[in-house]
Structure 1
Amino acid sequence: MITNNKVFIAIQYIFLFCLVIMAVIPFWLLISSSFTTEKEILESGYSLFPKIVTFDAYRYLFSVSGGVLRAYMMSIIIAGSGVFTCLVLTILFAYPLSKQELPGKNFFAFFLFFTMLFNGGLVPTYMVYTQLFHIKDTLFGMIIPGLLMSPFSVIMVRTYITSNVANEIVDAAKIDGAGDYRALLSVVIPLCKPIIGTIALMSFIGYWNNWTNGIYYIQNRTDMYGIQNYLKTVLDSVNVLQSQISGQVGIDVKDLPSMGIRMALAVIGVLPVLIMYPFFQKSFIKGITIGSVKG
């Protein structure tokens, strides 16, 4: 067969190696640029191997009143709370929908699918959250709007349960005396670890990269900013500082590591996701494949 052909296998490895290089080079260029002096970037452009290595960008970021560490802690709290709540709501919604005997199943399925097509818009949503639920300048403003539960995630979990958790297993647990919640916790959830890991990773990335909630719902409590909102404020302040000193005599813009700060901001923002992804890769691939293809 063609899969046993050594030449074909070698071509496969070469092709995959090229793809890996194409994926790694941008990240390497990003990291190396964050350690490059502003003068070298302006004069020679970006380089994979900087001539002069400097930590000025990171030194500047971590010297601003410890804001980076505080923003990291807030992002961890927001993402952790959001992911946990998202998983609870998603599983409690998806598990009943996987049962054929659920009364009104078609209505709830349509209600779920309808929210994927239509929404009230930004202004009505903002008014509901701020005037009815009063989440402005609270931690809930960073967790609830837009990220708490995804209909797509519910459909994936429902499909995974339908395809991989046999009803006979759940029925056997109930014969042994387990109720619905006991069967869910002891039987269904352990069998759904791949899709749960997938939803957890997707939800974590959504919370970690989100910055719109901070702009819309956090106005006075800037101490509640996550890492993305904090990095945006730092970048804005650097741009303002650069524009102010550009017209002053005796001060060279090249001395301010603005480009290096931008790259360092990107590295700081994406680092936790890069660290977490290898641990969830197996579950992510399996959960995406089974949860969205079968059924």
Structure 2
Amino acid sequence: MNTLQPQTKRSAVKASPRPSAGPNALSRPANLVVNSFFLLYSACCILPLLLVVAVSFSSERDIIIDGYTFWPSNFSLDAYVFLFKDWQQIVRSFGISVLITVGGTALSLLMMALYAYPISRTDFPHRRFFSFFMFFTMLFNGGLVPWYLVYTQLLDMKNSLWALVIPLLVSAFFVLILRTFFETTVPVPLLEAAKIDGASELRIFAQIVLPLSMPVLATVALFQMLNYWNDWFLSLVFITGSKNVNLQFLMYKTMLDIQFLTTNIQAAQGMSQGGGIMNLPTETVRMAMAVLGIGPIVFAYPFFQRFFVKGLTVGAVKG
């Protein structure tokens, strides 16, 4: 009996089936090609960002002589010192950008979802009219001058923070995306069951539709955050002073000032007599502005990534 036990164990081990690969599993060569492609693609996205950061910490003299390098020859903070000479304005503009981005994105997402949900319901009698009304705004608009007059004369939003929020509040493209997601993903029998149980439309929307729609809500929220954070045109049009400008417009204005000082002959001669034109960072300060501009928004994607992964599995398993 003792001599048969090892053989029995070995035969049991041999008889145990190996985990079989799934029907969508890739072969080793295909897996290597796919991983290599994404490694190269990631490098193409990350290396330019690293170059921008490296140039921002380089000296202007090294950039003029040696060009752009991934490792600074002489580490320098001249670009950031130049930018933060007016640190109070930068801090204020940074706070305005954060406030506009967070508040505008939340309000925009709520309004677009409230508009998209009724037109996604087949029992809503006017869904075609309101869908066409939203789609029509994607094709035609009133023009720049009427648009400006509405916000400044009719709504009186000039030099106010609302002028940086309202124009980007609703996007027809995102409304149609939300409508399509509500139609195809949210189960209609679930909504009917909640209605039979006595739930109101607002409760169905808040407790059933929104939790089931987190992937598309996160996607729209991310794009709206990018729109609000990267916008500088609204500050250019509606803000006359420097009190309520956002960070992007402040960086844009600084870049224009530097370009004027370096290209204007009289200004360049006046600064060269005092030795200021030689110490004025131009290339490095542009990279430092890019670092300040993209720094906070880079950390937004990891927060939304889990919703994207969840969205890939929506509808994958049917109960």
Q: Could you say whether these structures have the same fold, taking a TM-score greater than 0.5 normalized by the shorter chain as the test?
A: yes
**1:201-240 to 2 correspondences below 5 Å:** 201-220=222-241, 222-240=242-260
TM-score (norm 2): 0.85
Question: How far apart in 2 are the matches of 1:89 and 1:68?
Answer: 31
> In structure 1, what residue type is equivalent to 2:110?
V
Question: How far apart in 1 are the matches of 2:301 and 2:24?
Answer: 33
Task: State which of 278, 283, 288 in structure 1 corresponds to 2:302.
Answer: 278
Question: How far apart in 2 are the matches of 1:240 and 1:228?
Answer: 18
User: Secondary structure of 1:60's match?
Assistant: helix
Question: How far apart in 2 are the matches of 1:214 and 1:288?
Answer: 37
Per the TM alignment, residue 203 of structure 1 is displaced from its structure 2 partner at its CA by 0.7
Q: Does 1:179 align with 2:200?
A: yes
Aligned residue in 2 for 1:161:
182
Aligned residue in 2 for 1:75:
97
Mean alpha-carbon deviation: is it higher for 105-114 or for 11-20? 11-20
C-alpha spacing 1:65/1:8, structure 2 compared with 1 (3 Å): closer
Per the TM alignment, residue 278 of structure 1 is displaced from its structure 2 partner at its CA by 2.1
Per the TM alignment, residue 52 of structure 1 is displaced from its structure 2 partner at its CA by 0.8
C-alpha spacing 1:121/1:288, structure 2 compared with 1 (3 Å): farther
Per the TM alignment, residue 163 of structure 1 is displaced from its structure 2 partner at its CA by 1.1
Task: State which of 190, 215, 218 in structure 2 corresponds to 1:197.
Answer: 218
User: Structure 2: which 5+ residue stretches go unaligned?
Assistant: 1-22, 315-319
Q: Does 1:149 align with 2:173?
A: no
Task: State which of 91, 98, 110 in structure 1 corresponds to 2:113.
Answer: 91
C-alpha spacing 1:85/1:55, structure 2 compared with 1 (3 Å): same
Deviations 1:9-54 (A, max 9, x none): 2122222211111111111111101001000011111111111111
Contact between 1:141 and 1:217, CA under 8 Å: does it hold in 2?
yes
Question: How far apart in 2 are the matches of 1:42 and 1:254?
Answer: 12
Aligned residue in 2 for 1:30:
52
Question: How far apart in 1 are the matches of 2:206 and 2:26?
Answer: 45
User: Secondary structure of 2:273's match?
Assistant: coil
Question: How far apart in 2 are the matches of 1:4 and 1:249?
Answer: 68
Question: How far apart in 2 are the matches of 1:216 and 1:111?
Answer: 27
Aligned residue in 2 for 1:258:
282
User: Secondary structure of 1:152's match?
Assistant: helix
Aligned residue in 2 for 1:128:
150
Per the TM alignment, residue 63 of structure 1 is displaced from its structure 2 partner at its CA by 2.5
Aligned residue in 2 for 1:13:
35
Task: State which of 122, 130, 150 in structure 2 corresponds to 1:100.
Answer: 122
Question: How far apart in 2 are the matches of 1:192 and 1:215?
Answer: 36
Question: How far apart in 2 are the matches of 1:208 and 1:171?
Answer: 40
Contact between 1:39 and 1:255, CA under 8 Å: does it hold in 2?
no
Which structure would you say has the larger Rg?
2
Question: How far apart in 1 are the matches of 2:221 and 2:105?
Answer: 6
Question: How far apart in 1 are the matches of 2:249 and 2:273?
Answer: 33
Q: Does 1:119 align with 2:141?
A: yes
User: Secondary structure of 1:255's match?
Assistant: coil
Identity of paired residues, percent?
Answer: 35
Question: How far apart in 2 are the matches of 1:289 and 1:229?
Answer: 40
C-alpha spacing 1:264/1:149, structure 2 compared with 1 (3 Å): same
Mean alpha-carbon deviation: is it higher for 14-23 or for 178-187? 14-23
Per the TM alignment, residue 237 of structure 1 is displaced from its structure 2 partner at its CA by 2.9
Q: Does 1:110 align with 2:132?
A: yes
Question: How far apart in 1 are the matches of 2:136 and 2:111?
Answer: 18
Per the TM alignment, residue 252 of structure 1 is displaced from its structure 2 partner at its CA by 6.5
Deviations 1:116-144 (A, max 9, x none): 00000101111111111111111111111
Aligned length: 288
Aligned residue in 2 for 1:293:
none
C-alpha spacing 1:190/1:4, structure 2 compared with 1 (3 Å): closer
User: Secondary structure of 1:149's match?
Assistant: coil
User: Structure 1: which 5+ residue stretches go unaligned?
Assistant: 291-295
User: Secondary structure of 1:66's match?
Assistant: helix
Aligned residue in 2 for 1:44:
66
Question: How far apart in 2 are the matches of 1:19 and 1:56?
Answer: 33
TM-score (norm 1): 0.91
Question: How far apart in 1 are the matches of 2:156 and 2:60?
Answer: 45
